[in-house]
Amino acid sequence: MMNTIKWPGQQELQAWRHDFHRHPETAFQEHRTSARVAELLKGFGLEVHTGLAGTGVVAVLRGSLGPGPSIGLRADMDALHVTELNRCEHASTYAGRMHACGHDGHTSMLLGAAQALASAPDFAGTVHFIFQPAEENEGGARAMIEEGLFQRFPMDAVYSMHNWPGLPVGTAAVHSTAVMAAFDIFDLTLTGKGCHAAMPHLGKDALLAACQLVTQLPALVAREQEVHKPAVLSVTSFNAGDTYNVMPEVIKLRGTVRCFDMPQRARIEQRFRDAIAATCALHGLEAQLDYRVSYPATVNNPRHAEVCAEVLTRVLGEGKVRRDMVPSMASEDFAFMAQECPGVYIWLGNGEDSASLHNPKYDFNDASLPLGMRYWVELVGALLKDGRLPV
């Protein structure tokens, strides 16, 4: 298989990536990106389907060795509402938007794999190349599933990857089970009674209550949850008042809750609601809570994870694949896909000196492009070589 493949070169991969980076598009607005992806895939000779979840693209490649299992390889396409501070030649040309999470690289690596595999589809079965919109907060994976992704394109397993700052280029990490945390968000509005700051006894102090909640809510994790089950509750936004001598009537808080264990997730939410109710009763306030259960935890299938680790070792070399990394409390909507069929989500090193994800100085490391592409191609060979998936 490897001897007959026509590999896209570094310059071609890099040109695609830089083009996507210059033209970042955010959730469900990836119109240019989607059109360019579809154009390239059609040029490779693949069967291309567009419009799933608005801007999603799925390309189908059937192996030349006959029928067999069906797998999905997924890349995300969307950018973030971040103003880029890099001064590189391929910096964003769209004000207030940038590829600060490396989805431009993910898309380019999967395109390279699609081109390579289309040149020599020596496997039994079917590969679906999934280019997903709106991974960042908006649940594009869920939207694709709701619009029939797995009904239109049945799959026995699905795989994805993400670049990882802090891991050296040429290394990777594979988790046997949990990879990324579940993710909930909340908007809380506290309403009291405003008054002059010199006469607080005439009001109902929503500001004081809000401050108490900011310090008390994290204790629901620190002091009530089992210590061997990681969880994070963070208040990330606090809006109150606009002058010196008025006690504000309305306070607005925002934040996130993250964990891996689903019963624990439900307990935290209930205790969260209990704490708000008790605080409001104490201070005579009204509360309006919008608590939204968002992404589930991303959990790998252990058997498939072993195959992915073996493939990565062949691509990167002995000692280059970490199996001991702690799962991240960040979240990923690939979790929705992994709930539908066996899935594996791996991390590919972006460099020890790389800026962190979502940082305005972040940039995907082009040296990783051929490595990610080769991983995808080798993975297809490992999974579909004999026309059957690992059991």
Catalytic: which of 76, 135, 205, 378?
135
Residue for token digits 């000692």?
319
Torsions phi, psi for 379 (to 5 deg): -65, -45
Q: Which DSSP string do the residues of 357-383 spell out, in sequence order? A: TT-TT----GGGHHHHHHHHHHHHHHH
**C-alpha 136: how far from its chain's center?**
6
Active-site annotation holds for 84: no
Q: Which DSSP string do the residues of 170-186 spell out, in sequence order? A: T-EE--SSEEE-EEEEE
Judge contact between 280 and 209, C-beta under 8 A. yes
Distances from the Cα of 258 to the Cα of 161, 179, 307, angstroms: 21, 13, 29
Torsions phi, psi for 387 (to 5 deg): 75, 25
Rounded (10°) CA dihedral 140, 110, 38, 98? 60
Q: Give the whole-angstrom CA distance, residue 282 versus residue 42.
A: 64
Residues 6+ apart with CB under 8 A from 2: 377, 378, 381
Active-site annotation holds for 78: yes
Select from 200, 51, 62 the least CA-distant residue to 131. Answer: 51
Rounded (10°) CA dihedral 103, 104, 108, 111? 60
Catalytic: which of 25, 30, 78, 184?
78
Residues 6+ apart with CB under 8 A from 318: none
Return the amino acid letter for 114. A
Q: Give the whole-angstrom CA distance, residue 43 versus residue 162.
A: 26
Report, as residue numbers or ranges, the catalytic residues: 78, 135
